[in-house]
Amino acid sequence: MKDILWNNKARKQMKKIPINYRDAIFQSVDKLKDFPGAKGLDVKALRNHKYDYRMRVGRYRVLFDDKEQVRIIAIQEVKKRDNSTY
């Protein structure tokens, strides 16, 4: 099982998201504790991007890194999906 570490930028972004989406994002991020074996998550590895993975939660994308050596999932950003997300 891995620990979830929220970056300050991601925390600030979460405060701006409506509460119903925020709850869904928190539930999905909580499932990342079992990553990469977590079931039912829409996670995709990113190429040529500063973060390793993105997880789709409705209209929002959770961008994160998986630090396997120390067993930490680092949540870097939470953004609404648009042309500038990636």
Question: Looking at domain 3-80, what is its CATH homologous superfamily?
Answer: RelE-like (3.30.2310.20)
pLDDT tens digit at each of 86 positions of the chain: 889 999 999 999 999 999 999 999 999 999 998 888 778 889 999 999 889 999 999 999 999 998 877 788 888 899 888 777 66
Write down the domain spans for the chain. 3-80
CA distances from 11 to 29, 41, 51, 55, 70 (A): 13, 21, 17, 16, 22
Assigned token pair, 31: 């499932």
